Amino acid sequence: MGLLARAALIGLGAYGARAALRVVRDQPRAKELERTNFRGRTLTLAGGPALAVSASVTSALGAGDPRTAAAALAAGLSGGAVGLYDDVVGARPDQKADKGFRGHLRALREGRVTSGLVKIAGVGAGALVAAALLPDRRGRGRLGRAAEVALGAGVIAGSANLMNLLDLRPGRALKAGLLVGAPLTATRAGGLAAGPVGASASLLPADLGEEIMLGDSGANALGALLGVSATARTGLFGRAVMLAGIAALTAASEKVSFTKVIERTPVLREIDAWGRIPVQKPGGDPASAVTAPRTVVGQSAEPMPTVAGATVADPVTPADTAPPKPKVAKKAVRAVAQAAPAAQGPDEADHATDAAPAATKPRPRARAPRRTDS
Dihedral sign (CA 98, 100, 103, 105): positive
Residue 102 in domain: yes
- Residue where a domain terminates, one of 273, 294, 320: 273
d(CA 184, CA 188): 8
Of the candidates 184, 194, 178, the residue with the CA atom closest to the CA atom of residue 58: 194
Of the candidates 175, 162, 164, the residue with the CA atom closest to the CA atom of residue 207: 175
Q: Are 72 and 180 members of one domain?
A: yes
Q: Are 228 and 249 members of one domain?
A: yes
As for how many domains the chain has, the answer is 2
Residue 293 in domain: yes
Q: Are 222 and 244 members of one domain?
A: yes
Residue 278 in domain: no
Q: Are 160 and 298 members of one domain?
A: no
Per-residue pLDDT of the chain (374 residues), as tens digits, is: 788 899 999 999 999 999 999 999 998 888 889 988 878 888 999 999 999 999 999 999 999 899 999 999 999 999 999 999 999 887 776 666 666 666 667 777 777 777 888 898 999 999 999 999 998 877 677 888 899 999 999 999 999 999 999 998 999 999 999 999 999 998 888 899 999 999 999 999 999 999 999 999 999 999 999 999 999 988 899 999 999 999 999 999 888 898 999 999 999 999 999 998 887 655 554 443 333 333 333 333 344 344 444 443 444 444 444 445 444 444 444 544 444 444 443 333 333 333 333 444 444 454 444 444 43
CA angle centred on 100, ends 94 and 105, rounded to 5°:
75
Q: Are 142 and 253 members of one domain?
A: yes
- Residue where a domain terminates, one of 273, 308, 332: 273
Residue 281 in domain: no
Residue 101 in domain: yes
d(CA 106, CA 117): 11
DSSP H/E element including 304: none
d(CA 211, CA 219): 16
Residue 204 in domain: yes
Per-residue confidence (pLDDT) for residue 2, from 0 to 100? 82
Residue 280 in domain: no
Q: Are 244 and 331 members of one domain?
A: no
Residue 347 in domain: yes
Q: Are 94 and 132 members of one domain?
A: yes
Q: What global pTM score does this model have?
A: 0.72
Cβ-defined contacts of 32-35 (< 8 Å, 24+): 32/88, 33/87, 33/88, 35/91, 35/213
Per-residue confidence (pLDDT) for residue 116, from 0 to 100? 81
d(CA 239, CA 244): 8
225 close to 55: Cβ distance less than 8 angstroms: yes
Q: Are 166 and 190 members of one domain?
A: yes
Q: Are 96 and 33 members of one domain?
A: yes
- Residue where a domain terminates, one of 273, 303, 330: 273
Per-residue confidence (pLDDT) for residue 193, from 0 to 100? 95
Q: Are 314 and 356 members of one domain?
A: yes
Domain containing 120: what range? 3-273
Assign 3-state DSSP to the chain and report helix, strand, coil percentages, each to 5: 70, 0, 30
Q: Are 292 and 255 members of one domain?
A: no
What is the signed CA dihedral for 203, 205, 208, 209, rounded to 10 degrees?
A: -110
Q: Are 181 and 293 members of one domain?
A: no
